[in-house]
Amino acid sequence: MTTSRPYSILGLPTDILILILHQLLLVKDLAALSRTSRFLHVLVNEFGWAKWQRQNPRPSMSLSKSRMTWSPMARTKHDILTDRSWAQSEFIARPLSGPWPAKEQPTMATNSSRLVVAAGTTIYSYTFGRSTDGDAPPIVPEGSCSLATRRDRSSYITALTFIPDAGLDQTLCVGFQDGTFERIALTGVSKRHASTTLRVRRAARQSLNLEKDLDSCESLTCSRNSLLSLSASGRATIAGVETPTPFSSTIDLQVRSWSSHLCMESSSPYAAFGTSSATPLTMHSITSDRLAPVPSAVLQQTESGNSGSAVYGISRGPPSSPWGSSPQILVSGWYNGMVSIHDLRSSYLSSAPRGPHSLAPLRPVLNLSNSWSVEPIYSVSCGGGAGSHVAAGSARHSLLSLWDVRFPVRGFSVHAPLNDQSPVYAVILESSRLFGVTQSRPFVLDFGPGITKNTHPYLGPDKGLDAFGYYVTKYTHRPPLRA
């Protein structure tokens, strides 16, 4: 009588084992398998963690260059610890600078190398350092530079976006109060005494060819090699980022306009506009690099109509959500304090056309609200833990509201550090960091692991500083009342 040998998974060919690894979706399963033998430990490190990363993306500009040097296991560990912090609403809150001399209406933009904040006529740059082994990369003040010889309101910066420059990460398009815009390149810094000044290379200012006096550049958005500008009076222009531009197309919305979103990654490119009008959120198709003058879709907030009369913030949807990561998911912040999520692929239409465009409005797949606050929403952004969060900046008290779209009734809100009595004018949400800006200063909420005293800018001794962060007021949202 012969006794059969016990079957061992190690007897399978390597390519079969890799296929098995690709079926393991949970981190705990990959971790358990990697501890069973040296061979499987190497296999999980080489193939398992990388596959998990591809299936669970965590877009993050400020971490992107560091993540390129981390091992797949270190990236996964960082993401899991970040997700845990988001689930427990735990973060480090820090201002990134002292208060500005005057109250401003700032804006900001980011790429994989730096965060740039514009306030008044001045731009402030912060570079993203690199780290090893999954620690938080440092945020380092680079310097500042005024783009005007005198503080003239017509030269105030009103819009800001990075544009492609062959990977140099130094070229910005800047819009001004007087309706002009220009391209600038951050070429270095010069130090004199205690101050550091940005060196910039500037191109000649270009006019948006606005028809109305005192019209301003309200919004600039870049997608791939296209740039969308929007004026306060509703004049929208799409053009190439090269100089001179290879194409240009302009339409006139003829309403007070606030925000725009350009999407050239979609199979059907489009531009979305937030306005104050009977149809506050509309989508215009882009065909052959030209903007359609008539909306292809009107996006509504509720079945009874648009209870909010203006849309101030627009963002692409969360990279991970019940609706997928499609660029056709659109998030908007409304005057009535609500955040709406629309799926442009949906057929969830209202029963009858409304407004001047005779289109049946597209209803949202989800509305988010903070039951403790009805303040207008000034800014929105998506990302966060598990790539499924939405952040909204309110019009008062430097209040940020955050939701996980998988569990929308479990949201929480937090006041920015030092509690400026101000709107949150702009917000950028990454996997582990949230950047925001008030009338007085920029700030960061950092949910990532490996934070040290050198991670964030040192602003001098402050009694409000506890360990690495400042005390901030936060609270969970009240569940909606049942009928």
**Prediction pTM value:** 0.92
Give Cα separations from 354 to 200, 260, 294, 349, 359 (angstroms): 48, 22, 15, 11, 7
Q: What is the structure's pLDDT at 164?
A: 94
435 closest CA partner among 185, 139, 141, 64:
139
pLDDT at residue 444 is higher than 80 = yes
118 closest CA partner among 100, 140, 137, 93:
100
CATH architecture of 84-476: 7 Propeller (2.130)
Both tokens of residue 207? 């006019």
Give residue-wise pLDDT tens across range 85-135.
999 999 999 999 999 999 999 999 999 999 999 999 999 999 999 998 778
- The mean per-residue pLDDT over the stretch 260-282 comes to 95
Q: Select the more confidently predicted residue: 462 or 424.
A: 424
Q: How confident is the model at residue 483 (pLDDT cuts 50, 70, 90)?
A: very low
pLDDT at residue 6 is higher than 60 = no
pLDDT at residue 152 is higher than 50 = yes
Q: What is the structure's pLDDT at 451?
A: 93
- The mean per-residue pLDDT over the stretch 182-188 comes to 94
Give residue-wise pLDDT tens across range 304-332.
665 558 999 999 999 999 999 899 999 99
Q: What is the structure's pLDDT at 259?
A: 98
Q: Rounded to the nearest 5°, which phi and psi values hold at 34?
A: -70, -15
Give Cα separations from 325 to 150, 351, 403, 404, 407 (angstroms): 45, 28, 17, 15, 17
Q: Which helix (H) or strand (E) holds 412?
A: strand 412-415
**Amino acid present at 476:** T
Measured between alpha carbons, how far is 420 from 104 in angstroms, rounded to an integer? Answer: 12
Q: How confident is the model at residue 469 (pLDDT cuts 50, 70, 90)?
A: confident
Q: Which helix (H) or strand (E) holds 235?
A: strand 235-240
Give residue-wise pLDDT tens across range 329-362.
999 999 999 999 999 998 877 665 555 667 888 9
Residue range 1-55 forms a domain whose CATH class is mainly alpha
Question: Domain spans of the chain?
Answer: 1-55, 84-476
For 165, the 3-state DSSP assignment is coil
Cite the DSSP H helix spans in 48-184: 49-55, 64-67, 72-87
Q: What is the structure's pLDDT at 161?
A: 97
| CA angle, 119 then 125 then 127, to 5° | 150
Are 10 and 39 spatial neighbours (Cβ–Cβ below 8 Å)?
A: yes
Measured between alpha carbons, how far is 342 from 363 in angstroms, rounded to an integer? Answer: 7
Average pLDDT along the chain: 89
Instruction: Count the alpha carbons within 13 Å of 69 in the hemisphere toward its beta carbon.
Output: 12
125 closest CA partner among 178, 171, 176:
171
Both tokens of residue 117? 């904040």
Q: What is the structure's pLDDT at 481?
A: 55
Measured between alpha carbons, how far is 151 from 200 in angstroms, rounded to an integer? Answer: 18
Which residues fall within 8 angstroms of residue 79, CB to CB, at 6 or more apart? Answer: 53, 56, 58, 431
110 closest CA partner among 121, 130, 124:
124
Q: Specify the DSSP class assigned to residue 408.
A: G
- The mean per-residue pLDDT over the stretch 276-282 comes to 94
Q: Rounded to the nearest 5°, which phi and psi values hold at 206?
A: -120, 145
